Amino acid sequence: MNQLHAMYSLIRRELWEHKSLWIAPAVTAALFLVASVWGFISLVSNPTAVEQFNQHVLPQMTGDRAFDVAHGMTRASAFTIYAVMVVVLFFYALDCLYSERRDRSILFWRSLPVSDTLTVLSKLLVVLLVAPVIVLLVGLALEVLGLLLAPILVMGTDMSFGDYLQPLAALSALFGMLGDMWLLGLWFLPYFGWLFLVSAWARKAAFLWAVLPPLGVALVEWVALSSREFLKMIGHHISLPFQNAQQQDFGFRTGDLNVEASAAEITGLAGFAEPAFWIGLAVGVAFIAAAVAIRRYRGETA
């Protein structure tokens, strides 16, 4: 129980010290909401567009069709928020162990009865588990605001919704995305592990130490062997989970009105059956173990 309480406290510390973990996805969702509201206002302010929408679009947006459209669009917006989160996590993983030596806060944390292993694992859990949950919560907030604002925006107009609003489809999409995000976190573990290793080891210019060694390996391979297998291996490992992704396009074109919805439906993500998954997982665990060892035995300042 003490270990669980310590882990909970450490995760709270990470969210408190690295506010970009929740600010960045929240800002992204806010931009989505503003763009959606602006587009909706443009639609309802045009009587011809409203009439075309009611006559030609809504009849096709019923039953399973409406569910599929709402499901796909929700997943697309959630995945975009997650893509922004991945960028934030890149800099978080690169900075979280380096900054505590730079500002000497490591001296305070080492005075507490918390092991280096637990500290590094708390940061890893933020990347693998907590960040996807933050994306889920932000996505839920975005959907709730959308459902609340939509009836207000059409007040005083002749626009009707039919089956266009699908809260169950949104919930299904978001919770399905949560599993996908956890799986992708494990797929990307070797890259996050490398960033943790650099963050624990680098005395300065952590970003350059994270980027230049892989580029150096690729450059030496290209000069010495005239090949690019290293870069191809990295690119293949990153793209492999998405090879089964399907693109679903939902579109309606009626006269002067052009209403389209295009959503990337991520289905069938490659996972546990792929040897590359387990190889990458082993490499990521090795990097994390090395980061723990470096934090434990090296000096307390950058």
pLDDT class for 291, splitting at 50, 70, 90? very high
Six token digits for residue 296: 């434990």
pLDDT class for 59, splitting at 50, 70, 90? low
Decide if 246 contacts 265 (C-beta within 8 A): yes
Amino acid (one-letter) located at 90: F
pLDDT class for 186, splitting at 50, 70, 90? very high
Rounded to an integer, the average pLDDT of 41-70 is 71
User: Would you say residue 159 has pLDDT above 90?
Assistant: no
pTM of the model: 0.82
In this predicted structure, what is the pLDDT of residue 250?
A: 44
Residues 6+ apart with CB under 8 A from 249: 260, 261, 262, 263
Query: Distances from the Cα of 70 to the Cαs of 61, 83, 89, 166, 291, in angstroms?
Result: 10, 20, 28, 6, 43
pLDDT tens for each residue of 199-249:
999 888 889 999 999 999 999 989 888 888 888 888 888 888 877 554 444
Tokens 């882990």 belong to residue: 7
Task: Give 134 or 76, the one with higher predicted confidence.
Answer: 134
Which residues is 252 bridged to in the sheet? Answer: 259
**CA-based diameter of the chain, in Å?**
71
Residues 6+ apart with CB under 8 A from 164: 58, 61, 66, 70
Cα–Cα distance between 83 and 129 in angstroms, integer? Answer: 15
Please choose, from the candidates 102, 104, 109, 70, the residue with its C-alpha nearest in 3D space to the C-alpha of residue 261: 70
Decide if 239 contacts 52 (C-beta within 8 A): no
In this predicted structure, what is the pLDDT of residue 302?
A: 52
pLDDT tens for each residue of 69-125:
777 788 888 889 999 999 999 999 999 888 887 777 776 666 777 788 888 999 999
